A = this chain, B = another copy of it.
Amino acid sequence: MKLHVSPDTFPPRGHEAKRLSIVDSAATVFCREGFAGANIDLIAAEAGVSRQTIYNHHGDKEKLFVAVVRDLTERCNAGIFATIATFPDLPGDLEADLIGFAMRLNQNCICNRDGKFLRKLIQTEGERYPELFAEWREQGPGRTWPAIAARFARLAYGGYLAIDDPDVAARQFLGLVNAELQTTFMLGGSPREDEVLQSATNGVRTFLRAFGKRRSATSVEKQSALASA
């Protein structure tokens, strides 16, 4: 009698797989509808799970929401630190290397599913859960920005850049590299890869016009415009 109608998904694998599936679907729905607009039945349907299972796992709509944010924060942070590890400490072509770094950061941490969702949840529900998002602020920007700043400081110390304040430079790097994506980010969309590349390229070029030394032998051509002053 019981006809298990699960058209797209695999049959229930295990206990943890179900938990993951729930948090995943919850993230999707919370982002699309907002906390108040999100519907537990919809989350359950999207996760291919009965409503009761959600309550068994998380107890409460609010607890589920907190679990979603914690999960996203953790995964995003891991991604960012993994990407920071690829920062070019000994650049061959500084411009190309920084563009590559910016692209990895955007594609793997900011424009991907987790990054988009976390950003949206912070924007929409940040004021309602001050302690939760204060935690994000400490764990996220509070740790990643200094880490990026340290890498820029190392480049400056190595003679590749002329930087006064590495913290300011790091924030400005991020601002420049994302300068052309702001509107898309606001509306919750995902920029196409060529848009990301365009923004990163323009951003890095301006960054290097401000902070670059013509030292780094390989990219002499790019610096020539600067030198033509």
Residues of A in contact with B (beta carbons under 8 Å apart): 32-37, 119-120, 122-124, 126-127, 133, 137, 141, 162, 165, 168-169, 171-172, 174-176, 178-180, 182-183, 186-188, 202-203, 206-207, 209-211, 213-214, 225-227, 229
Contact = CB atoms under 8 A, between A and B. Distances in A.
A104 to B, nearest CB: 19
Contacts of A182: 171, 174-175
A166 to B, nearest CB: 12
A127 to B, nearest CB: 5
Contacts of A34: 34-37, 124
A179 B179 CA distance: 9
How many copies are assembled? Answer: 2
Nearest to A141: B183
The 5 closest A-B pairs by CB, nearest first: A36-B37, A175-B179, A209-B210, A210-B210, A175-B175
A35 B126 CA distance: 15
Most buried by B among A162, A169, A210, A226: A210
A31 to B, nearest CB: 9
B187 A180 contact: no
14 contacts: A33-B36, A34-B36, A35-B37, A124-B124, A126-B188, A137-B183, A168-B179, A168-B206, A169-B206, A172-B179, A175-B175, A206-B210, A209-B211, A229-B229
